[in-house]
Each structure stands twice: as C-alpha cells, then as structure tokens.
Amino acid sequence: MADQPTELLVCVKCRREEESPKDDRWPGERLFDALSARDLPEGVQLTPVACMQNCSQGCSVALRGGNRWTYVYGNVDEVSHPDTLLEGAAQYHATEDGLIPWRTRSELFKRNCIARIPPLNIQET
C-alpha cells in the first residue's frame, strides 16, 4: 500500500447542467453526504470543493495524492456510485503511481475519466 495519503475531492456544486436541486441541495452535495456516511478506505481523505467546472457532466470527483497521477471523473451518480467510488479510491491508494490496471477498474472509472494529470515530479522515460 502506498504510504502517501489519497484525497477524494468531490464537487459539491455539481448540478447536471440546468437541473434545479429537488431539496435545496445540489447532486454534488448529496454525493458528498453519501460518501461521508460510509467508512472511508484506509488512507483516503474526503474533501469537498466548490466547483470543478464540469457542470454538464453530472457530479465530478478527483483522486490525487503523493507522487501519483491525478484523475478527474465525471458522470458520477450520487445514488448509485458512492460504493464504486470508494472501491476505486482504495485501488488508487494501493498504487505507487495512481495507475490502476485497466482490467481491475470499474466501468465508472473506465468510461468517465475527464482528465489524467501527471504528478508534480514526473519521471521522464
């Protein structure tokens, strides 16, 4: 397991384009609350963020930490994806570089990656 903490960032302002919140809470807030109500994997921290500027793609999250690649995901559903996100965060945390093997990634992670950002100290090969 990687010894650097992993941060799961959740956009709490995500709103699926022009959809109005049903209960004065944006879908991103509901996703954050659903994740907060669960046990987080060891080494994973949950952080709310104000906006990831991906409103047309449903809820957005990012995984980052240590000297790993950062991943940004969209089209996250606040009802059906919290457990999948936490499983993926645990997989990410278990890596040294943030690269989860393709065959072990959930469909959410395979199909909804918006960006992959290199670590600050990327090693050129």
Domain boundaries, the chain: 6-117
Q: Is the pLDDT of residue 2 over 70?
A: no
Q: Is the pLDDT of residue 13 over 80?
A: yes
Q: What's the half-sphere exposure (Cβ side, CA atoms, 13 Å) at 2?
A: 24
Class of domain 6-117: alpha beta
φ/ψ bin of 73: left (φ > 0), alpha (ψ from -120 to 50), beta (otherwise): beta
Q: At what angle do helices 27-36 and 82-93 cross, to 10 degrees?
A: 60
- Of 72, 64, 75, 63, the closest CA to residue 14 belongs to 75
The CA distance from 29 to 49, in Å, is: 10
Over residues 40-46, the mean pLDDT reads: 97
Task: Tell me if 59 sits within 8 A of 28, measured CB to CB.
Answer: yes
Helix residue spans in the chain (DSSP H) = 27-36, 82-93, 107-111
pLDDT at 21: 65
pLDDT at 92: 97
